[in-house]
């Protein structure tokens, strides 16, 4: 079945450490890619998205993601995390013909220790 | 303030009862969606509507129904709730013309006992 995979569901790291969250998808063709963030007790917010063009996408709060078509990947990175980055992060894919019916990964729970 | 509102914020429900979760958006978005969020499973699409008057089934539609009488409202109904429907439910919308990302509501936390 077509899917979106996120690894290392729980990530614990210290402030100023670098963060990288992996996302792989199994859909062929042209896809739109997203990372959403859910802070504790809040609803999902868009971090960044890729539709076309430069495969290195910069989002809010210092996050960036790189689309590597040959690897079917869209990994999220932040060079230096802060305590306020504690949240759950979801990768999502709008597959070909998906009509914005996004398929989500299972999420990464990230805890940043001050 | 533009956005999506959901009601109720939380609800505890006895199994077998009927329940309607409300969702209203004021952004005039064409498309609306209902997702459920479960620990370790991420978000799964229940039902969607590409435009007023049309609806479709998502990944986990069983036990749920929706209607889309107008652009703004997209209620989700559980006809006879079961404990496995205990979850956090998020309504979302998108302007399918360009942006293609989803705006999410604050969620409804539902517990079925």
Domains of chain B as residue ranges with CATH: 4-112 (2.60.40.10)
Task: Measure B113 CA to nearest chain A CA, in Å.
Answer: 22
Residue spans of beta strands (DSSP E) within A7-78:
10-14, 19-21, 23-25, 32-38, 45-50, 56-58, 64-68, 73-78
Q: Tell me how many domains chain A contains.
A: 1
* Range B14-17 contact pairs with CB under 8 angstroms and sequence separation of 24 or more: B14/B81, B14/B112, B14/B113, B15/B81, B15/B82, B15/B83, B15/B112, B15/B113, B16/B80, B16/B81, B17/B80, B17/B81
Tokens of A52: 């076309």
Residue A96 lies in a domain: no
Contact B92, B31 (CB under 8 A): no
pLDDT in tens, B51-108: 999 999 999 999 999 999 999 999 999 999 999 999 999 999 998 655 578 899 999 9
Residues 6+ apart with CB under 8 A from A60: A47, A48
Chain A and chain B share a number of CB contacts under 8 A equal to 52
Tokens of A33: 């890619």
pLDDT in tens, B6-25: 999 999 999 999 999 999 99
Three-class SS state of A66: strand
Supply the mean pLDDT for chain A. 92
Task: Give the structural domain span for A26.
Answer: 4-91+102-113
Those of residues 12-51 in B touching chain A at CB distance below 8 A are: 31, 33, 35, 40-45, 48, 50
User: Is residue B58 within 8 angstroms of chain A, CB to CB?
Assistant: yes
Query: CA-nearest residue of chain A to B40?
Result: A106
Residues from chain A that touch B92, judged by Cβ atoms under 8 A, are 44
The CATH number that applies at residue A27 is: 2.60.40.10
**pLDDT at res. B64:** 98
């Amino acid at each position: 079945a077509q899917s979106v995979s996120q690894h290392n569901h729980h990530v614990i790291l210290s402030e100023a450490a670098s963060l990288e969250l992996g996302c792989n998808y199994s859909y062929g063709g042209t896809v739109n890619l997203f990372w959403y963030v859910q802070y504790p007790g809040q609803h999902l917010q868009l971090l960044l998205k890729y539709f076309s063009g430069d495969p290195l996408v910069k989002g809010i709060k210092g996050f960036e993601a790189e689309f590597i078509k040959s690897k079917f990947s869209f990994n999220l990175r932040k060079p230096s995390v802060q305590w306020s980055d504690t949240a759950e992060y979801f990768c999502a894919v709008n597959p070909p013909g998906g009509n914005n019916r996004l398929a989500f990964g299972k999420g990464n729970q990230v805890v940043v220790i001050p | 303030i533009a956005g999506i509102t959901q009601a109720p914020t939380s609800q505890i429900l006895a199994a077998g009862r009927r329940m309607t979760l409300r969702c209203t958006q004021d952004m005039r978005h064409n498309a609306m969606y209902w997702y459920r969020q479960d620990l370790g499973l991420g978000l799964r699409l229940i039902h969607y509507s590409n435009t007023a008057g049309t609806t479709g089934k998502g990944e986990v539609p069983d036990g749920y129904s929706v209607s889309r009488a107008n652009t703004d409202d997209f209620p989700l109904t559980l006809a006879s709730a079961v404990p496995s429907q205990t979850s956090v439910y998020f309504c979302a919308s998108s302007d399918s013309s360009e942006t293609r990302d989803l705006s999410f509501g604050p969620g409804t936390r539902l517990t079925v006992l």
